[in-house]
Amino acid sequence: KEIITRAKKEACLKINEKELELLLSKSKVVEDKDTLISGKLRLLNYQNNLLIQEQSDKGDLLIRFMQNKAEANKFIDERLEIYDRMWDGCGCKVDYY
């Protein structure tokens, strides 16, 4: 529960590997996308709260609280679009923070 409280307070919450393992063990993975550039992009359902989990270009593990499925889907679609353009060599960068 503490992670939800922290995620709701911060736009982008940095967590460690142990926290991620615990979160994954207690969450339902709704979506799991391999970005092919920066690790996994996951939508998690944790105690009826939606969280996005991603990894920054610096290797930071990040969590974002999502208000609803529509907001989560929009975030995922926008991220995947950026990664797709990066794959094509656009020189784009993701603003993780």
**pLDDT of 28-56, one tens digit each?**
999 999 888 888 999 999 999 999 999 99
| Per-domain boundaries in the chain | 2-87
What tokens does 60 get?
A: 């930071």
Are 16 and 62 spatial neighbours (Cβ–Cβ below 8 Å)? no
Going by C-alpha positions, the residue among 4, 10, 15, 3 that lies closest to residue 54 is 15
What tokens does 92 get?
A: 């784009």
**pLDDT of 72-96, one tens digit each?**
999 999 998 888 777 667 666 777 7
Beta strands in the chain (DSSP E): 13-15, 28-34, 40-46, 49-55, 61-66
CA angle 59/60/63 to nearest 5° reads: 135
Task: Report if pTM > 0.75.
Answer: yes
